[in-house]
Amino acid sequence: MAKKIEFHFKSPLDSPGYLLGQLTMLWQRKQKRVLDPLDLTSTQFVLLCALAWLSRESDEVTQVDIANQGNADRMMVSKVLRTLEEKKFITRKEHKTDTRAKTISLTESGETVLQKAILCIEAADLEFFSTLEKELPNFNSSMASLIEANKD
């Protein structure tokens, strides 16, 4: 018989990390079902959303801005943006003042697919989290606090 492994938690249902992992996998599965028909991955969707949010404030959104907005790795963002450019959802042009940077913009087809994706994802999210009902604002606040506390 294998050696008995010791755990801090008495049960997996007492472990916040285990529960978060399970919840994340189920939520990502639901997102995938919604985004697949639009030829988007969850990561592509998140980066397009970051670009759309940032574009409300500036016409010169860079790859670094997008990475910072989404707490994402810059190299991964670069690769995903190349894919989105190949799909004709974004354009990348030389930055006006920073020769090392590219200005990222949504194309018309990028705007169209993103708007469809947002509607689908928001509906899926509302359905997925519907059992929380009035607790959803507290849940969101707790998640935002954890994100802020663990950004480093």
14-35: pLDDT as tens digits: 999 999 999 999 999 999 999 9
Residue 61 corresponds to which tokens in the numbers above?
Answer: 């959104």
CA contacts within 13 A on the Cβ side of 10:
0
The mean of the pLDDT values for the chain is: 93
Q: What pLDDT digit, counting tens, does each position of 44-88 carry?
A: 999 999 999 999 998 899 999 999 998 899 999 999 999 999 999
> How far is residue 16's CA from residue 94's CA, in Å, rounded to a whole number?
45
| pLDDT, average across residues 118-146 | 96
Please answer whether residues 107 and 53 qualify as being in contact, where contact means their C-beta atoms are separated by less than 8 angstroms: no
**Which pLDDT band holds residue 1 (cuts at 50, 70, 90)?**
low
Q: How many C-beta atoms lie closer than 10 Å to residue 145's C-beta? A: 10
Q: Does domain 39-147 have CATH number 1.10.150.110?
A: no
Domain ranges of the chain: 39-147
